Amino acid sequence: MAGVRFDQNQIRPGVDRCRASATLVRVMESVEEGDILVATGYHVLTGVVEVRRAVATTLSLSRGMFFVADYKVTIVSEPIITAVALEWKRITHATFTTGILDTSGAAVGDAVYLSKTVAGKLATVGTYPTATASGAAHAAILVVGRVLRSHATEGVIMLAPSTMARGSKIVGKVTLSGGTSSTVTGFTTELNTAAVVVTVDASSALSTSPTALIDNGTLTIHHVASSDDATYIITG
Task: Give pLDDT, residue 10.
Answer: 42
Max intra-chain CA distance, the chain: 75
pLDDT digits (tens, 9 = 90+) for 91-146: 998 888 788 999 999 999 999 999 999 999 999 999 999 999 999 999 999 999 99
The letter for the amino acid at 187 is: F
**Confidence check: pLDDT of 17 > 80:** no
The model's confidence at residue 2, banded by pLDDT at 50, 70 and 90, is low
Q: What is the number of other CB atoms lying within 10 angstroms of the CB of residue 10?
A: 7
Select the more confidently predicted residue: 21 or 216: 216
Closest CA to 19 of 160, 167, 165, 164: 160
User: Rounded to whole angstroms, what are the CA distances from 167 to 7, 148, 196?
Assistant: 31, 23, 15
pLDDT digits (tens, 9 = 90+) for 193-206: 999 999 998 776 67
Q: State whether residue 111 is helix, strand or coil.
A: strand
Closest CA to 182 of 145, 124, 127, 232: 232
**Confidence check: pLDDT of 87 > 70:** yes
Average pLDDT of the residues of the chain: 89
